Structure 1
Amino acid sequence: MKIRFSPLVAAVFAVASLSASAQTRLSVAATAVPHAEILEHVKPVLAKEGITLDIKVFTDYVQPNVQVAEKKIDVNYFQHKPYLDEFNKTKGTNLVAVAQVHVEPYGAYSRKVTKVADLPKGATIAIPNDPSNSGRALVLLAQNGLIKLKDPNNILATVKDIAENPKGFKIRELEAATLPRVLDQVDLALINTNYAIEAKLVPTRDALFIENSKSPYANLLVSRPDNKDADAVKKLAAALQSQDVKAFIATKYQGAVVPAF
């Protein structure tokens, strides 16, 4: 039995087939806030350009890089350059930055004191335990007069680089994602803004002190050398650096996240 299609029906099938084949799938690893939210915002724009954006949300800072390096995911968007450089160095990867998108000014939070001067002697201060973010935390503590570092500009400083700690603060290094959950157990915690927002903290309101918008820690779109020049990756980079995204960031995050382009 032969089935005949009218020319109109055949044309519809042809257009549908062409449309399906024209779509390119691009997978991207991201942390939930604000990265995945920003990606969701550009998803419809990319769809119109033939890119199906597959957003995979992670809660840690390791697997997004591992899975891109292993070619399980195309690109990621969650990290700043000091973290990327340290990861490449320690893990033997060669991931590359494609575009810088935004800065999340880093803040210090407390549920025990309302101003820095009230921190008691021997207070416990929690900071992230990965090298780039722990160094960033120590530099911020030094900038706010809580400690002194041997080199106040060393973004990879460790607790061994503390030159002066006049109030005997106890520095605890913990996984970045856990810091909001230990706020009740410590006197002060320095928390990455993405985790602060997820914990319903408002950095511009709740932080005792916070980096300014000139922070060098711009969050990046990252890929492998073999796909950094792919058309889909370039289109995603362009979408993330658009005026539309700049307006979205300004409206949604009210200074807790600021554009870096």
Structure 2
Amino acid sequence: MLKNILKFALAATVVLGLTACNDSEESKKGAEKKVETKQTVIKIGATPVPHVEILEAVKPLLKAKGYDLQIVEFTDYVTPNIAVNEGELDANFFQHLPYLIEFNKNKNTDLIKTASVHLEPMGLYSHKIKALSELKDGASIAVPNDPTNESRALDILVKEGLLTFKDVDFKTAVDILENPKNLKIKELDAPQLPRVLDEVDAAIINTNYALAANLNPLKDAIVIESKDSPYVNIVVVKKGNENKEYIKALDEAINSDEIKKFIREKYKGSIVEAF
């Protein structure tokens, strides 16, 4: 009887030992599988010019690091942020920090900046006048209608002495205090602005949309924003992803000497690197 008990105990020990070994092997395989399936595709949303162009120059740099950068084009300022917040995109590249802060507040999103890339000086363009002194009484000026870019555009008119405003965080047409020329401010979606230049006396246009409409900020803008502007364009991700290996690789590539050289040679001062 004792012999049988001992045999049973020994057999059970062997079985347990084999099970432990198998579990250990499975754990090891699972760990190896995790390493093998690390993220190598980076999906980033961007507006066309210059963001997509810059990202196309980033692509081969990331390819050399083992990453496939997939660029998704957008023509608005809302969808790419929603897509990052919902996990459909890993990052986006189209906006500045003041816009992002306001967007997070209004849309209850949790997005953060990971890298500064470039500044696109905003400019005032016209098909009807060649100098601000030619603006007639009651002239119409179109500006972007999102809070930060509208305020930024109106700041240009303030600097030129054309308007004064109430003390508010984000200026809009309703906040005007003094308007000696009785300017009519038309608030429109940013992508529309180049298309209405024949319908208004002037428009203040974001550089990405100006470039897409073959307007050169250095040659065609009557007035251009100062280069000390705080509106630097940034890479944005969902909070919690900023330290992921693939995001760090993206930031390193987009802030590289190669991209600095690309921006300088491609845009010749109409866009300025910010790193």
**TM-score surpassing 0.5?**
yes
Tell me the equivalent position of 2:229: 215
The CA deviation at 1:211 is: 0.9
Change beyond 3 A, Cα 1:181–1:175: same
Tell me the equivalent position of 1:66: 82
Change beyond 3 A, Cα 1:215–1:172: same
User: Matched residues in 1 for 2:242 and 2:38: separation?
Assistant: 20
In 1, are the aligned partners of 2:39 and 2:246 still within 8 Å (CA)?
A: no
User: Matched residues in 2 for 1:241 and 1:155: separation?
Assistant: 31
2:104 to 88, 112, 115: 88
1:143 alignment partner AA: K
Measured against aligned partners, the alpha-carbon deviations of 1:198-228 in whole angstroms (never above 9, x if no partner) come to: 0000000000000121111000000001211
Tell me the equivalent position of 1:253: 267
Question: SS state of the match for residue 192, structure 2?
Answer: helix
User: Matched residues in 2 for 1:157 and 1:143: separation?
Assistant: 13
User: Matched residues in 2 for 1:21 and 1:50: separation?
Assistant: 13
Residue 46 in structure 1 maps to residue 62 in structure 2 = yes
Question: SS state of the match for residue 127, structure 2?
Answer: coil
1:197 alignment partner AA: L
User: Matched residues in 2 for 1:68 and 1:247: separation?
Assistant: 28
Tell me the equivalent position of 2:94: 78
User: Matched residues in 2 for 1:77 and 1:161: separation?
Assistant: 31
The CA deviation at 1:21 is: 6.1
Question: SS state of the match for residue 243, structure 2?
Answer: coil
Q: Which runs of 5+ in 1 are unaligned?
A: 1-19
Which structure shows the higher helix fraction? 2
User: Matched residues in 1 for 2:169 and 2:235: separation?
Assistant: 21
The CA deviation at 1:23 is: 6.8
* Aligned ranges 1:153-172 → 2 under 5 Å: 156-172=170-186
Residue 187 in structure 1 maps to residue 201 in structure 2 = yes
1:188 alignment partner AA: A
1:160 alignment partner AA: V
Instruction: Tell me whether 20-29 or 100-109 shows the greater mean CA deviation.
Output: 20-29
Cα RMSD between the aligned structures? 1.3
Q: TM-score, normalised by structure 1?
A: 0.89
Tell me the equivalent position of 2:257: 243
Question: SS state of the match for residue 197, structure 1?
Answer: helix
Question: SS state of the match for residue 177, structure 1?
Answer: helix
Tell me the equivalent position of 2:24: none
Question: SS state of the match for residue 168, structure 1?
Answer: coil
Percent identical pairs in the alignment equals 51
Measured against aligned partners, the alpha-carbon deviations of 1:116-168 in whole angstroms (never above 9, x if no partner) come to: 000110000000000000000111110012111234xx661122221110010
Measured against aligned partners, the alpha-carbon deviations of 1:51-100 in whole angstroms (never above 9, x if no partner) come to: 10000010110100010011111100000011101110100001000011
User: Matched residues in 2 for 1:173 and 1:254: separation?
Assistant: 30
Question: SS state of the match for residue 127, structure 1?
Answer: strand
Tell me the equivalent position of 1:128: 144
User: Is the radius of gyration larger for structure 1 or structure 2?
Assistant: 2
User: Matched residues in 2 for 1:77 and 1:244: separation?
Assistant: 18
Q: TM-score, normalised by structure 2?
A: 0.85
User: Matched residues in 2 for 1:186 and 1:160: separation?
Assistant: 19
